[in-house]
Structure 1
């Protein structure tokens, strides 16, 4: 069993390295790459039935950002959606001074996430409002952080990173 888990970890590590190389080899400006990665990660905060990476590309085109880095941003956010889901509730609960219905990763189910998101659009006093207010704040904060970190890394360390990844 340990060998199986080791192989899985190697595959994940290899994919991360592959995507890093793809991002740092892009010919686009640091601004376009950073904006693309930022736009790509935004849909990850809201459950979208697996359409996040596709929506990421659409957002990148609207913002005139790099679509490859947007796709990578969407792919990065897809496997961590349960964590993002909980963060939305935590931040929303803090902002609205209410207790969240979801506190641990074990309580996160995709159907529940979708129900709570839709409820936020139609009911003003529901847990969905808690979720959406947290998502809004998390999107803003994560977008600022992702943009500036990516821009800085891409501008300053592009050549060094590529040499280390080879």
Structure 2
């Protein structure tokens, strides 16, 4: 019950922000970007920095960073799958059970500067996923805040 109450509290805080729909949507988008790359827990902090850099809302950026933190294994695998698909190579990681944080970081970092390695697959997938998810998150959030901000707030109360 406490988790549900906490989620409701943060949703209310998010929808009560006085910023424009553009600033909130851009902040949430900037906040989710670091979630695609394993950053040892520094994602939400980097999210706030990206928000300040783009002059968007830092609170919504923090929320975006927090949203992406618990689902990093899924995002990690998506990076490998998309990279493998685009480069026509089979990734080393296929399922969520195979993702171990320390091993994943080691494979990714060791392969950044070698051609045709897992690091290249990961980076290719990450770039594509960041671009596509950013566009999707921005327009969904912008639409929600532009059209339904008051309605959602009333339902949350």
- The answer, yes or no, to whether TM exceeds 0.5 is yes
| Counterpart contact for 1:33–1:66, Cα < 8 Å | yes
Please list, as runs of the form range in 1=range in 2, the aligned pairs for 1:46-125 lying within 5 A after superposition.
46-125=37-116
Determine helix, strand or coil for the equivalent of 2:112.
helix
Q: In structure 2, what is the Cα distance between the partners aligned to 1:15 and 1:130?
A: 37
Matched, 1:37 2:48: no
> What is aligned with 1:18?
9
TM-score where L is the length of structure 2? 0.96
RMSD: 1.0
**Could you tell me how far 1:19 is from its partner in structure 2?**
2.0
User: Segments of 4+ in structure 1 off by > 3 A?
Assistant: none
Identify the match of residue 135 of structure 1 among 126, 132, 137.
Answer: 126
Counterpart for residue 7 of structure 1: none
The structural deviation recorded for 1:100 is 1.1
> Is the CA contact 1:46–1:117 (under 8 Å) kept in the aligned structure 2?
no
Three-state SS of the structure 2 residue aligned to 1:163 is helix
Distance in 2, matches of 1:44 and 1:139, equals 9
Question: TM-score of the superposition, structure 1-length normalised?
Answer: 0.91
Q: How many residues align?
A: 157
